[in-house]
Amino acid sequence: MEDLLKIRKFYELKKVYRMNTVENRKESSAEHTYSCLILADYLLSSLKLKLDKIKVYELLLYHDVVEIEAGDIPIHHLEKKKNKKENELKALHSLKDKIPKLLKSKFVNLFLEFEEQKTREAKFAKAVDKLDAIIHELDYKKDWKGWSEKFYRSLNDEPFIQFPELKNAYETINDFARKNSYFDD
């Protein structure tokens, strides 16, 4: 019963809000995780990539859990990002004792794998994480205000280099954003 009560700690991700808009409110990190999982399933089902699907799903499932204690730092808040890794590691160590023992090492290992970006699965999950936010924001053009294409690319380009299949989708979205005046250039 103790572990079942501790599982509620993960539910707190529903209370962490991101900068992304959903109708007249902000998106939760839990909603973002869900849409990342759907996007990853679509991409892994349609692309012929030799990746461990379950590993990708698990990486995405746990990648933002530290935000329960560290909070979400938007991609463009460069000053706040300076201490992000340190704050997330503190949150990781704090959280591991508040979740079910059965998931403790899995959570820690998956979070670190995602952050270290040493495996193809982690790199793919990072690209999905970025692509999800970009696709989501296509419905909220006002959220792009103040973003030049150069600044936007400086924050987003890197994860797509290793996956040409995703780079094509990313560039198609960028073309759409440029043609529809999403960027302030």
State the average pLDDT over residues 130-152.
93
* Residue-range domain boundaries for the chain: 2-179
Which stretches within the chain are classed as H helix? 2-6, 8-11, 29-46, 53-62, 67-70, 78-81, 84-95, 101-116, 120-137, 149-156, 164-179
Task: Give the whole-angstrom CA distance, residue 112 versus residue 93.
Answer: 11
pLDDT higher than 80, residue 97: yes
pTM of the predicted model as reported, rounded to 2 decimal places: 0.93
> Which CATH topology does 2-179 take?
Hypothetical protein af1432 (1.10.3210)
pLDDT higher than 90, residue 12: yes
